[in-house]
Amino acid sequence: MRYFVHIAYNGLVYNGWQKQPGLTSVQAVLEKTLSDVFKMPVGIIGCGRTDTRVHASQFFFHMDMEQEWDFDLVFRMNKLLPHSIAVFDIIPVAAHRHARFDAVLRSYDYFLHTYKDPFLSNLSSFYLLDKLDFDKMKQAVALLPQYRDYRPFCTSPDKYEHTRCKVMTASLYVNERGDKLRFQISANRFLSRMIRIIMGQLLRIGKGEQSVDEFENYLIEKRTPEMLNPAHPQGLYLSKVSYPYLNLPPRPEFSSILQNEAELSWHQL
Quote helix, strand, coil % in the chain, to nearest 5.
Answer: 30, 25, 45
- Taking residue 208's Cβ as centre, other Cβ atoms within 10 Å add up to 11
Between β-strands 2-9 and 125-126, what pairing exists: parallel, antiparallel or unpaired?
A: unpaired
Q: Is 66 helix (H, G, I), strand (E, B) or coil?
A: coil
Supply the DSSP string of 71-112, one letter for each residue: S-HHHHHHHHS-TTEEEEEEEEE-TT--TTTT--EEEEEEEE
243 is in an annotated binding site: no
Q: Rounded CA gap, 106 and 190, in Å? A: 8
Active site amino acids: 51
Angle ∠(187,147,261) on CA atoms, nearest 5: 45
**Residues contacting residue 233 through CB under 8 Å, at least 6 positions apart:** 11, 51, 52, 53, 54, 125, 196
Q: In angstroms, how far is the first alpha carbon of the chain from the final one?
A: 46
Q: List, as residue ranges, the binding site.
A: 108
Q: List, as residue ranges, the binding site for substrate.
A: 108
